[in-house]
Amino acid sequence: MTFHSIVREWCRTYKPMNDSVTNGNRRFYLADDWDGVKAMPKNISTKFSPCVVMENGAEGSIDGGLMTRNYAVYFFVRVDRQVDNDSQVVAYEEALYHALQFYTWLKDRHDRDENPAGEYGRIDFEHEFYVQPAGPLEDGWVAVMMQFERMEQINLCVDEDMYIDGPTPDPSLDGGE
């Protein structure tokens, strides 16, 4: 299961979102990068607040046979312009609340995952999580970004089946001698 599948599952089961493409209540979105995240409010109806936007790509690092990937998940809330001047602060607090609900749900799954290499067991809860506000964004949206690390063992051996074996190419064919 990919990390975005885990996030999508939470969006589907979390009552304030109840993500479902089939019933027209889409609350989970993928964006290519931060520019895509910033542009997302143009594509989201205001009735779909709160919602989650996740970056497709994941930065990471490899150390020996362990790969760590960092995932950015944005919890979007639409600012209620009718409340008062503090409505943006209220929206940020609501976005943070949803982010913390996801964190708690994820930690619960992690703690119950008996396999440390399982889908939830690979999420790093040993180190601090990075959280920051994002916005204000277009069309009255704000977001809170939470960054997650997920670790996995990788095979650092060459997979010979992935290479064409045969004679060494003749360098003169490339124009070089």
pLDDT digits (tens, 9 = 90+) for 81-125: 755 668 888 899 999 999 999 999 999 998 888 777 777 878 888
Domain ranges of the chain: 3-174
> Class of the 3-174 domain?
alpha beta
Single-letter amino acid code for the residue at 30:
L
Please give the Cα distance from 44 to 53 (Å, whole number).
Answer: 10
Could you report the per-residue pLDDT of 30-81, keeping only the tens digit for each?
Answer: 888 888 888 888 877 777 889 899 988 778 888 888 888 888 999 999 887 7
Contact indicator for 50, 75 with CB cutoff of 8 Å: yes
Q: What is the dihedral of CA 109, 115, 116, 122, to 10 degrees?
A: -50
Distance (Å, whole) CA 16 – CA 75: 12
Residue type, 24: G
How confident is the model at residue 74, as a pLDDT? 94
Reported as a single tens digit per residue, the pLDDT across 2-39 is 888 899 999 999 999 887 777 777 888 888 888 888 88
Instruction: Determine the pLDDT at residue 73.
Output: 94
| Residue 155 identity | N
* b/e map 141-160, b = 16+ CB within 10 Å: bbbbbbebbbbeeeeeeeee
Calculate mean pLDDT across residues 125-131.
Answer: 81
C-alpha distances (whole Å) from 11 to each of 8, 16, 105, 108 are: 5, 9, 11, 16
Cα 137 from Cα 145, distance rounded (Å): 13
Above 70 in pLDDT, residue 139?
A: yes
According to the model, what pLDDT value does residue 1 have? Answer: 72
Question: Global pTM?
Answer: 0.81
- What pairs with residue 63 in β-bridges? 66
